[in-house]
Amino acid sequence: MTGDRTSVPSGRRPLRLAVLGCGSVGSAVVRLLHQQADDLTARVGTPIELVGVAVRRLDLRRDVDVPAHLLTTDAVGLVSSGDIDLVIEVIGGIEPARTLILTALENGASVVTANKALLAEDGSTLFAAAEKAGRDLYYEASVAGAIPILRPLRESLAGDKVRRVLGIVNGTTNFILDRMDTLGAGFTEALEEAQELGYAEADPTADVEGFDAAAKAAILASLAFHTRVTAGDVYREGISEVTASDVASAREMGSVVKLLAICELKEGPDGPAVSARVHPAMISRSHPLASVREAYNAVFVESDAAGQLMFYGPGAGGAPTASAVLGDLVTVARNRRDDVRGVGESAYAKCKALSMGESETRYHVAIDVDDRAGVLAQVALAFADHNVSIQTVRQEGRGDEAKLVVVSHRALDSDLSATVESIRKMEAVHDVSSIMRVEGEPE
């Protein structure tokens, strides 16, 4: 390393950096910049000079020492000063983050951001602005925290054809579902534990209702399939309706319930189309994603030539996320030094986005029925009437009542939900006690 450091050309102008936001991620970024200053200088080939940190409240106690003269509440003034080379945006949300990023690009700075919500809602505006300005826009930290997944999709797999991406991309929901699976806890009890341990926010809606995972699914699908996919294209269902009995049913089948971000490429009569969706699903315990416990994240990628790949690690937290931010910083700084731009948006494929009804999945359905002859045949007929083929049926007698557990083959989601609707109306059916999609099997 010493050799590297001594090879830094003397007299080269420092890279001038502004950081927007100094919360969980921003304070870890500032700390790492300080701790790793020498190595970063050696890796980039020029010192990195932090020239400003924008925050909302100047007097707040922070996890990191930021010299008072660097702190400012004037983020717009900071990014429009015209002498900033690189802006790291870790404020989050849509505004003012979007305006600040656009202003930074217009003023000649490259941008590194961790902002999944903004990229999923309006990434195209940001990419177009970066293209126009001839600057870089990098965002590795926006999906799955520390896990390198966007660069592999964008660069390492650029010569392959990705068919499917399955992600556990929200640590809060994975923690809750893991507790439900291992302790038999109900959703509310597991959520309370997650809140006590700091894995869930006081208002957990964005996590438990799947909004956070849907934004990440949009980013993953866009990169995997070279198509613009926005959060609005992603079907979303959270985990608040998952019951202890769903989790127990999965266990009986040798499966586990996970909240999955699923991105699939489908070849159709009108060309390739993309299905992007987030919902709870059963996956077999033999699938690599089933071993992802507690608040960890993982992304499982299936492609024609590489086959199956899994990327695993901490999906959130200040330091892990800052690791991804600083990785982007080094790349952007090197590009700047070499006067080149990194890879911009690749959206040439322009695949159609499929609705949930047009997507294919499998269902696991548990039905409480009269325990008498002919009921199983009636239920089986409802599946056949809706073009859904059954893979397995299990029946357990319980006196006057029986429980049927049916697992289908892959079928259109609209046909599967129509099947369940018609089963609900049958006289012999007391209750459809659990419906869960089944994912992770080869097509």
Among 15, 30, 48, 54, binds ligand NAP (CB under 6 A): 54
Q: Is residue 114 near ligand NAP by the rule CB under 6 A? A: yes
216 is catalytic: yes
CB 176 within 8 A of CB 220: no
Among 116, 179, 228, 266, binds ligand NAP (CB under 6 A): 116
Pick between residue 223 and residue 379 the one whose CB is nearest to ligand NAP: 223
Among 14, 24, 293, 347, binds ligand NAP (CB under 6 A): 24
Q: Is residue 342 near ligand NAP by the rule CB under 6 A? A: no
- In the complex, least distance from residue 143 CB atom to ligand NAP, rounded to whole angstroms: 8
Stretch that binds ligand NAP, among 237-245, 291-299, 316-324, 340-348 (CB under 6 A): 316-324
Q: Which of residues 93-112 bind ligand NAP (CB under 6 A)?
A: 96
The structure tokens listed for 349 are: 């494929």
Among 115, 174, 297, 434, binds ligand NAP (CB under 6 A): 115
- In the complex, least distance from residue 206 CB atom to ligand NAP, rounded to whole angstroms: 9
- Amino acid at site 188: T
Scanning 253-298, the segments in alpha helix (DSSP H) are none
Q: Which residues contact 398 (CB under 8 A, 6 or more apart)?
A: 371
The structure tokens listed for 103 are: 């202003």
Pick between residue 170 and residue 408 the one whose CB is nearest to ligand NAP: 170
Q: Which residues contact 177 (CB under 8 A, 6 or more apart)?
A: 190, 239, 242, 247, 256, 257, 258, 259, 280
Stretch that binds ligand NAP, among 22-30, 186-194, 246-254, 332-340 (CB under 6 A): 22-30
| Three-state SS at 59 | coil
Handedness of CA 376, 381, 386, 388 (dihedral sign): positive
Among 5, 12, 56, 372, binds ligand NAP (CB under 6 A): 56
- Quick one: which H or E segment has residue 22? none
Q: Is residue 66 near ligand NAP by the rule CB under 6 A? A: no
Q: What is the largest CA-CA distance in the chain?
A: 88
Among candidates 248, 255, 245, 283, which has minimal Cα distance to 431?
A: 245
- In the complex, least distance from residue 164 CB atom to ligand NAP, rounded to whole angstroms: 24
Q: Is residue 92 near ligand NAP by the rule CB under 6 A? A: yes
Beta-strand ranges (E) seen in 214-295 are 235-236, 255-268, 271-284
Catalytic-labelled residue, pool 216, 258, 266, 403: 216
Terminal Cα distance for the chain, rounded:
48
- Amino acid at site 70: L
Q: Is residue 90 near ligand NAP by the rule CB under 6 A? A: yes
Q: Is residue 80 near ligand NAP by the rule CB under 6 A? A: no
- C-alpha separations of 155 from 203, 237, 326, 381 in Å: 37, 31, 18, 48
**What is the size of the binding site for ligand NAP (CB under 6 A)?**
25
Distance CA 80, CA 61 (A): 27
- In the complex, least distance from residue 228 CB atom to ligand NAP, rounded to whole angstroms: 20
Which residues have a catalytic role annotated?
216
Q: Using CB under 6 A as the criterion, which residues of the chain lie in contact with ligand NAP when the complex forms?
A: 20-26, 54-57, 60, 75, 90-92, 96, 114-116, 141, 145, 316-317, 321
